[in-house]
Amino acid sequence: MELLCIQSQEHPELPLAELKAVMECENIDAEIDHITEGIVILREISQENLMDYYQTLTRRLGYTHEVHEFLLETTVENLEGDVSTFDWSQYIVESFAVRVKRIRSEIDTVGYERKLGTLILDNSNGIKVNLSKPKTLVRVVAHENDLYVGIERIKLDKKHFEDSKPHKRPFFYPGSMNPKLARCMVNLSRIKAGELLLDPFCGTGGILIEAGLIGCKVVGSDVYWKMKNGTAINLEYYGITDYRTFHLDVRELKMYEKVSSVVTDPPYGISTSTGDVDGEEIFNEFFHAIYDNMKDDAYLCMASPHYVDLKPMVDDVGFEIVEQYGIKMHRSLTRIISVIRKKLD
């Protein structure tokens, strides 16, 4: 069995990296077929695992917009024959709608929605089209001359990422990253529900909200009490109750329980205060402070500006960089997302 994932094209690499990280930590056993930027098919999934995998992916992913049970792959030329001979009765009950999405394709989406709808109707019994409230959504993704057809079994809640934008939270302070990137970073840290995640520069709690929403226990600390309190207010607002917050300089960090992951956005640039630590030195101090607070197999996912060279600092402490991705913010600033772990002996 197969799943069709339609991903964001906001970044060329992060959506796929996020998917791979979730598959790794959730033990999702499937072949990844990366068709093109925006389309991934997960193949060779056993029938008994399909719905579990489907649920896990829709609950966790930030940069994947839709997940569907994948039904068939065809081309513009073969569409009519393939759709007419397909047995729709086991997938469509009562009513359906067809929606076509294009990724680097020139096809007329509305025309193809009508054409496919008619073909399905002509080859099935007892079903009708309902465009506003269909029982089954048939999703087609067109890429160049190829068409990928799936049906939606579970809806991804994309509204959350709109509703939790920093300025919509009860406690707001400039400098919080967008929630989709925060979710992606949590996922890159390979944490699972029930495990403990720490953000020692928690600010308004943007990263902790995303971790809490996928079921992690969260701890946040910040050198300013106002931020520590604001984080608690925001976490409560999003219904997250399994959390602790501390008013603490990162250099004094000493956790009673070692954490399963650290996800954070340390201060840099003129808009964020670093307490009394000078510029890049905050990164160095952070790596030293965090090491002993992490489990041996824990991952750290962090953001940093391109001009800070993390490599010598992580080497010095005993960490290694596993993955890095650049996000161009403007002409003179690229934000680097790094996934780091302790060096294995």
Ligand X SMILES: C[S@@+](CC[C@H](N)C(=O)[O-])C[C@H]1O[C@@H](n2cnc3c(N)ncnc32)[C@H](O)[C@@H]1O
Could you give the C-alpha distances from 245 to 169, 273, 312, in angstroms and in order? 17, 19, 31
Query: What tokens appear for 329 in the block?
Result: 């913010």
Q: Output the CA torsion sign for 158, 31, 48, 27.
A: negative
Strands 243-247 and 217-222: parallel
Spatial distance between the Cα atoms of 239 and 212, rounded to a whole number of angstroms: 9
Nearer to ligand X, 6 or 337 (CB): 337
Strands 64-75 and 3-7: antiparallel
Spatial distance between the Cα atoms of 119 and 224, rounded to a whole number of angstroms: 62
Per-residue x/- track, 158-187, ligand X (CB under 6 A): -----------------xxx----------
How many Cβ atoms are within 10 Å of 234's Cβ, its own excluded?
A: 26
Nearest approach, Cβ of residue 250 and ligand X (Å): 4
Nearest approach, Cβ of residue 268 and ligand X (Å): 7
Nearer to ligand X, 92 or 202 (CB): 202
Nearest approach, Cβ of residue 261 and ligand X (Å): 15
Nearest approach, Cβ of residue 174 and ligand X (Å): 9
Spatial distance between the Cα atoms of 96 and 136, rounded to a whole number of angstroms: 5
Residue 197 as a binder of ligand X (CB under 6 A): the answer is no
Instruction: Give CA angle at 55 (97, 231), nearest 5°.
Output: 110
Question: Among 204, 260, 261, 338, which residue interacts with ligand X (rule: CB under 6 A)?
Answer: 204
Residue 203 as a binder of ligand X (CB under 6 A): the answer is yes
Question: Among 224, 237, 246, 291, which residue interacts with ligand X (rule: CB under 6 A)?
Answer: 224
Ranges within 242-261 binding ligand X (CB under 6 A):
249-250
Nearer to ligand X, 3 or 259 (CB): 259
Question: Among 265, 301, 304, 341, which residue interacts with ligand X (rule: CB under 6 A)?
Answer: 265
> By the criterion CB under 6 A, which residues form the site for ligand X?
175-177, 200-201, 203-207, 222-224, 227, 249-250, 265, 267, 272-275, 277
